[in-house]
Copies of this chain bind each other. A is one copy, B any other.
């Protein structure tokens, strides 16, 4: 039998480690012959653009290097399957059968789990014996069921370390300043909340943290900043990209400043918008910093635990398929906090696909 693996959605530092996990486990499994990599996610299957991974990844050094390379070596896509588009599903089945693919592994986030779900349903309906397994990844940590997602740990490490360095950087002058750091995470505050680990190191900053899970109000924000300015010369604010300014509070300038320059309306412009608000309303020195794609690709400071787990969850996916599972997504279950222990399990993909896990409210 042959297997195929693909990567989808936004890049992370750990997504290639999961690919290595699938590949290494396949090497150890005598019944698996070829391991195909699908180019650009599910599109490679649809277009029959596959690469034979055994001819590309030939040494342990290749695997070690790939494990630590950010982004998706096989390319990615943002394609969502349409269940009414019978032709596409037929092309997928044709590709699977042509290459005798008995199991397909899809490494991705919420949207990719939707593909796993639809594909496994189609395969069952068609009466074929092809296992479809999802392997989670996203720096946003917003997948339900799983304790956390591969890729989040490295992103959180980058964010926390970099914010601590920025705190040093912005505290050198003896004038009032506000530094606003915009952090990824889409509609979930997990990554921004990771700056809280600095408190455990004795840092007072970031003095203010805004997450998409709460309501944002410009006047309250300005009050918050002024209150911190009474205590600190250099105020540091961490804000999630998903924080939105209520429509009725938007004056033309803030809105323009954001939409003109940043594509998506606010999803990657809240830092710059808050910078403009502070400059206009408080008038002190202010700078906004977007941690940008560095949050998801800074392998030079990746988390070893994250990379190891990402590889492991990939290899467990292969075992699950060999054990006969399909329509499943691999997840971490937390066994113990101290010492940190997680177990890898599989759950029905329907429990994960198209759902978002927000940061829970306190209490």
Contacts and interface: CB of A to CB of B under 8 A. Distances in A.
A37 interface: no
Interface in A66-116: 69-72, 75-78
A63 to B, nearest CB: 17
A168 B300 contact: no
A289 B295 CA distance: 12
Interface in A139-191: 161-162, 165-166, 168-174
Contacts of A294: 162, 165-166, 289, 291, 294
A25 interface: no
How many copies the complex holds: the figure is 2
B75 A169 contact: no
B299 A300 contact: no
A206 interface: no
A253 B256 CA distance: 11
Given A11-B172, A75-B174, A260-B257, A293 B289 contact: yes
Interface string A249-280: 00001000100110000000000100110000
A162 B300 CA distance: 8
A313 interface: no
Contacts of A70: 165, 168-169
CB-CB nearest 7 A-B residue pairs: A71-B168, A169-B297, A76-B172, A165-B297, A40-B174, A169-B293, A72-B172
23 contacts: A11-B169, A40-B174, A70-B169, A71-B169, A71-B171, A71-B172, A72-B172, A75-B171, A162-B294, A162-B300, A165-B294, A166-B293, A169-B293, A169-B296, A260-B276, A261-B272, A287-B293, A289-B294, A290-B290, A290-B292, A291-B294, A300-B301, A301-B301
